[in-house]
Amino acid sequence: MVQPSTPPQHDIVITGRGVVSAFGHNISAFEEKIFGAACAIASIEDLNDQLLFKTGAPVRDFDPNQSINPRECRMMDPFSQFAVHGALDALKEAGLSLDEDADDGMDRSRLGVVTGSACGGISTLETQYSRLYLKGSRKVSPMTVPMVMGSGPASHIAKAANARGPVFGVTSACASFNHALNSALSLLKEGAADVVICCGTDANFAHGNLKAWEALHAVSPDTCRPFSIDRKGLSMGEGAGVIVLERLDHALARKAKPLAKVLGVGMSSDAGNLVAPDAQGMYGAMNNALRIADLSPSDIDYINAHGTGTKANDQTESEAVCKLLGKQNDATPLSSTKSQLGHALGASGAFEMLATIGGILRETMPPTVNFTQADPECPVNVIANTAQPAKINIALSNSFAFGGLNASAVIQKA
């Protein structure tokens, strides 16, 4: 295998993880369901019976007041609540205290936060617009602006963690997390921060947002079957995934345990149709990721695909993967986490990163559930319905967004 050219002192490792998802609100529950081949996509008619599609994977039974001060919670949209809860767990696993005076080897002026979100505080926006236009109120909540802003989760995480370094949010539709990840890597490699909390989050089950997706005719009437010949579309999901990133030398100096390495993120733009995927753009992101990591396609052990379950995406991604792998396309295993958790938009890339890290640590490749029959137009090696035991040294995690925004991350066993 070709070794990464990045100097050892610039190796970036993941030392903490946190999650809020339809599979639960901690990493243990998340991984148990992922590798147990569960599917969170189920009826949502108890939440919304005014939709043409009847299923999804919303976050349920989540009480943010159990982990966040109730007074703070009242000033957060759900997408910020998800993010903060996940960040608190990630910091704990990384061995970092919430006390800025703690002796944990962390200078809070060198602690950064980068978050990604596709929708921002859409739940709050809908609630306040309803108050204004439907209920006849002449006022909205004075906290509407800070609750709605896309960078809200970054600010709330910074407050909870006493992070006084670079803190900001990015928005790149479904590629938001991988773009946030690339920004976090840049901060660490350039020496602007020693540790960065990186998060992808979205709360997607506001009625207006669901109706907007309904109008796209992209949502499956039953469930999500990526790469399967009978796939009918995506399923909606939501939540937050969080990782703590730091340079390897910094992690070792404070005796933190590296969980995985991030070798780089490759990016590209289709510069074309805003909703139709483009194989060349997808290929460009994956190829750029390997170039940055100084790796070849034969080095990839596993791919966590974007895999939305739509006819166009899966066929196009398959074409791009086959172009990247060449003769290897029949051998390199691939799966889609969206088959289990739906499409969580800004959180999807984070879920997929967590599933990939879990696969590396467990030496098991996550499955694509709901798979019934291979599609000849998707000639990739799909891990169908059950997790597959295998050692993973190098993995690729894809996020390909509306607007032609593509980002692929390369992860390595620590």
- Mean pLDDT of successive 10-residue stretches along the chain, which has 414 residues: 46 98 98 98 97 98 96 96 98 92 87 98 96 93 96 98 97 98 98 98 98 97 98 98 97 96 98 96 98 97 98 97 84 97 98 98 98 97 98 98 97 98
Q: How far apart are CA 136 and CA 106, in angstroms?
A: 50
All structural domains of the chain? 8-260 (3.40.47.10), 263-413 (3.40.47.10)
DSSP-based three-state secondary structure for 409: strand
Are the C-beta atoms of residues 294 and 2 closer than 8 Å to each other?
Answer: yes
Q: How far apart are CA 338 and CA 314, in angstroms?
A: 12
Q: Mind telling me the catalytic residues? A: 174, 306, 343
Please tell me the predicted confidence (pLDDT) of residue 329.
65
Which residues partner with 247 through β-bridges?
12
Please tell me the predicted confidence (pLDDT) of residue 412.
98
What is the separation of C-alpha 229 from the centre of its chain, rounded to a whole number of angstroms? Answer: 26
Q: How far apart are CA 238 and CA 372, in angstroms?
A: 25
Please tell me the predicted confidence (pLDDT) of residue 6.
40
Beta-strand relationship, 333-335 and 381-382 = parallel
Q: What is the DSSP letter of 327?
A: G
Please tell me the predicted confidence (pLDDT) of residue 4.
42
Please tell me the predicted confidence (pLDDT) of residue 328.
66
Are the C-beta atoms of residues 379 and 320 closer than 8 Å to each other?
Answer: no
Please tell me the predicted confidence (pLDDT) of residue 7.
40
Sequential DSSP letters for 145-183 = HHHHSTTHHHHHHHHHHT--S-EEEE-BTBTHHHHHHHH
Which residues partner with 91 through β-bridges?
none
pTM attached to this predicted model: 0.96
Please tell me the predicted confidence (pLDDT) of residue 10.
75
